[in-house]
Structures are given as structure tokens and as C-alpha cells.
Amino acid sequence: SSGINAEYGAKTLITYSSSHGYILTLSELTSTTESWKCGVRDPETGEHFLESFQITESPCNYGEGDVGSGECEVCDKGKYSSEGRCVGCPEGMMSSPGCTRCVGILAGDVVSRDKTSLVTSFSVETGSFTDELKENLYLIRVGEGGSKEYFTVTNFTNSEGEMVVTEVGGGTYNVSLVRSETNVPDNVRSVVESWEGGIRDYLTGSYTTLPFTITLNKYCTSGTGYTDNDATVCTKCPRNTYSDNNTCKACPSGQRSQEGWDTCVDVDSKGAAYYVLAGSAGALALILVLMISAICWTRRRRHPDVVMANPNVENNRQATSKTAAL
């Protein structure tokens, strides 16, 4: 797996790759068609187990096909070059012009709210797993005017998150953009990002991708929202309004609310605020009674000759209540 190099003649090189097995790389062919055999030798018996194959020189470059009389043209979208010809992609697979293979890509638009974690994924079916394929999986951010920023798993340096590639079986890669937190600027309610996901043909440099969007919507917490159609910052909903789906809406007729509420109550309903105030008033009244009782008790101890008046007895007769019930 460390790599074994052996020269074979003046124009060939045999190398070993841990992910591919043995690879025969030809700098050029000695004839239009060459016949080869590959296999293994039994070290004990010396017997060779070989398979034959041929290498045929094509007049066309990678991603091109012979259209006759030695003329080549770039293979169209939906086709790939194979043995010097342009071949249509299998059903469910796709390619860009000038590709040497077809792939299956699945990608979809994503809608999320800001200030949350976000995972955006797409898959690329290649039919096999190799280092070259993995290193050429791409996330592409599309900017204003069609400008593009290219990311691979080896060069992804975006501060917004990380790019993760996993093998999910059947020669399919799953590519994810993972963000720990998303943010929407104060001057807008939402942001729509344009992306592409796919693979680069490492033999021709052609990109086969699918576009998708990431929409980030600002989220207003309970009791807050936009107060008018032009607002972009979440604020506390005013009195007699309530928050509903990022908007401060007026309370229905016959209902009311306090500032920062997410619901309205009936006008004749005492509501939670009433009971809070009533409870506070009762507590203050109890404290006042206890303070008066303590003062009276203290004065009686200091002046034992003073007879404290009984508030329920007036001029030697039972007093009648002069206060109305609350």
C-alpha cells in the first residue's frame, strides 16, 4: 500500500494503489492496438493465472466520440465517451457535455429558520468508490452575477460550517453541508442562497451538477413580530395586539392584550394580571395589619396603665359594622 513502482520497457509504468489494485499507465502506445495479460503467479508452483485484454488507441480525447472518418466531437449532455464513441447515459443517470461517465444526483431545496443548526445534503451515485471520485465531489456556491465558489472535502474552508462526505453503499456518496448556526441580517426577513452539488470529471474537468437553494427565514420569538409590512426586526407586539407567525396582529373585537403577549383575552376577563394585582394587594393588607398589631402590643408593654380600646365595643355597647364588604 506504500506504492510499488516498476518500469516495464521504455514507455510503460506499473504502479500499485491501495484503492485500485495494480494500475498499468501507458505514456503512449507502440501500435494502434496492443494485447496484454494480467494476473498472478503462484509462488510455490510457478503457475500463472492470467486474463487477456487489449488497449486500443482512440483518435479522440477523453469526453469525445468518433463521428466518422477520424473526426471527433465533444459528447453531448446526457452522453459519455466510451471506447472512442459517445454513448447515452442509462436511465436515471446524467452527464454534462464532455464527460467520461454518467452519474445519478439527487438534491432538493431546503427551507429553515435562522439561529439554528442546519444540515443540507445531496447524493451522487457513481457506481464505485475511489479516491479520485471522492476528491472531485463539489459543493458550489453561486453568487451574484453567476459567480461561483467551489468547495471540495479537501479544500472546504468556509467559516459557516463543514463539508462531510460519506459512502452509503452501491457506489453512492452522500455529501452534507453542516452548519452549527445560521443567521439572517437585520435589514431583511429572509435570505435565499443558491448552490450546486455534484461531481467533476477528473479526466476532462467537466462538472455535472444539480442546482438547489437554501432559504433562511428570520424567526420571531413568542410575543414579538413585525409591526408593519416594511419591518425587518422583531419587536415586542404593542398593547392590544398579539404575535402570530412573526406578525403582530390586532386583537379581535371585544378582546385586549398587554405589550408582548402572544394571545388576547376577553375585555371583561380579569386575566392573569388581575389575580397578580389582587394577590399583591392582599399581601400588602396583611403586612399592614401585622405592623399595627405589633405597634399596639409594644405600646401596651411600655404603658401597662393604658387601657386599649376595643374596636368592637362603643360606649359600653356592641358596635355595629360601619364598613362595607369588599
Output the tens digit of pLDDT for each of the chain's 326 residues.
334 444 444 444 555 554 455 666 665 555 567 788 888 899 999 998 988 877 766 678 899 998 877 789 999 999 999 888 899 999 999 999 999 999 999 999 999 998 888 899 999 999 999 999 999 999 999 998 999 999 998 888 666 688 999 999 889 999 999 988 888 999 999 999 999 999 999 999 999 999 999 999 999 999 999 999 999 999 999 999 999 999 999 999 999 999 999 999 998 755 555 555 555 666 677 777 677 776 766 666 665 554 544 544 444 444 444 444 43
Predicted local distance difference test score (pLDDT) of residue 59:
73
Predicted local distance difference test score (pLDDT) of residue 297:
60
The alpha carbon of 62 is separated from its chain's Cα centroid by a whole number of angstroms, namely: 36
Query: Cβ(68)–Cβ(60) under 8 Å?
Result: no
Long-range pairs for 84-93: beta carbons < 8 A, 24 or more residues apart: 84/56, 84/58, 84/59, 84/60, 93/125
Predicted local distance difference test score (pLDDT) of residue 2:
35
Predicted local distance difference test score (pLDDT) of residue 254:
93
- Within the chain, where are the H helices? 131-135, 271-302
User: What's the CA gap between 127 and 172, in Å, rounded?
Assistant: 7
Please tell me what DSSP assigns to residue 323: S
Please tell me what DSSP assigns to residue 321: P
Query: Cβ(14)–Cβ(6) under 8 Å?
Result: yes
- Taking residue 166's Cβ as centre, other Cβ atoms within 10 Å add up to 11
Provide the b/e sequence for 197-236 (b: ≥16 CB within 10 Å): bbbbbebbebbbbeebebebebebeebbbbbeeeeeebeb
User: What's the CA gap between 322 and 151, in Å, rounded?
Assistant: 86
Predicted local distance difference test score (pLDDT) of residue 54:
76
Predicted local distance difference test score (pLDDT) of residue 296:
67
Instruction: With residue 172 as reference, give the H or E element that holds it.
Output: strand 172-179
Backbone dihedral angles phi then psi of residue 81, each to the nearest 5 degrees: -90, 135
